[in-house]
Amino acid sequence: MIIKIGLLCRNLVYMKNRFSHLAILLLACLQLSAGASSIGAHGRSAHDTIPPLAWKEHWFQHNLTLKRVYYDNNIAVYYDKNVSDTTKWPFQILSDAWAYAKNNYGSLGAKRLYVVLHKGTYGGGHPSGFYSKSHDFRNTIDCGLNDWDGSTDEQILMPIHEMGHLVNDVSHGTFGSPSDAIWGDSKFMEIFNYDVLMHIGHQDMAQRYKAAMLNQADNFPNASTYWFRDWFLPIYENYGREQLLNRYFEVLSENFPKGKDRRFTRDLNMGEFAHFWSIAAGTDLSDRARHIFHWGKTENDQFIKAKKDFPSPYISR
């Protein structure tokens, strides 16, 4: 490989035969050589352009220069200066998680996910889709904790949670999340986390997570709503598991109003939410939704209208 690179560089210089361009050509040779060395070090080839060695943040209050510490066909991982280079456990776990997401949820717009980890600063997490200039048109998750040295449940679950937001936002060639008006910031991510853990070899953690989520109550759309226990887990276990989750986003992409740019033009209402999940499940889920979410006349009327506006039979799959 090194010999081929050397020949290529000499040929380029010879063909140009202009001293004014020599520096540019030599720089190109060095970059090509560095890229080949990086690929060789990781034992994998890149699906798209080689991720830059450094990435300067320019979003929200973030302004640090990040260092690339790993990449493969699925992810590129960047650390700030506080995260130790010896922290290598995220590489395989997060690569497996994103590979699974791509396999299950159709087109996510970009093959590689950019993972940013902060230690002791910029706490919390956020995603950014590939369509956004804010993160240089890259599917990105940015996570901050006080410690990344181990591989605790929290350290693993936070990045996977942010992946779920991206699935929510960019799957099946659409942009935006009309479901957020119903399930808020994170309810889908609870079942997403559980499903991903079950599929990447972390069943023990998945069971711990499931046990914790069974006791998780929220105050929307009504007080003491158990989203995971009463809605997501039962329909997940009874109507297709990961296929059900993917089918929901597929149904939305095929039916819900979008602009020419494939961005959803409005939010779902509760009746539409139940109707699209019923299509995905292949059975009428309105009775379950009515009971769990304490429907009144408004929600019942919305469901009836949704079936007229978006006619589709509930076919078991």
Q: Give the residue-averaged pLDDT of 110-117.
A: 96
- Residue 121: pLDDT band (50, 70, 90) is very high
Q: Characterize the bridge pairing of strands 113-119 and 75-79.
A: parallel
* pLDDT at residue 177 tops 60: yes
pLDDT tens column, 286-311: 999 999 999 999 999 999 999 999 99
Q: Residue 27: which pLDDT band, with cuts at 50, 70 and 90?
A: very low
pLDDT band at 48; cut points 50, 70, 90: low
- What tokens were used for 264? 């959803």
Mean predicted confidence (pLDDT) in 176-184? 97
Which residue ranges make up each domain of the chain? 2-42, 46-171, 174-317
Amino acid identity at 119 = K
pTM equals: 0.84
Please determine, for residue 76, whether its predicted confidence score (pLDDT) is greater than 50.
Answer: yes
Across the chain, mean pLDDT equals: 88
Given a cut of 90, is residue 34 above it in pLDDT? Answer: no
Percent over 70 (pLDDT), the chain: 85
- Give tens-digit pLDDT for 216-232: 999 999 999 999 999 99
- The pLDDT value recorded for residue 18 is 37
* pLDDT at 194 > cutoff 70: yes
Q: Among the listed ranges 20-29, 127-136, 158-167, which one has the minimum average pLDDT value?
A: 20-29
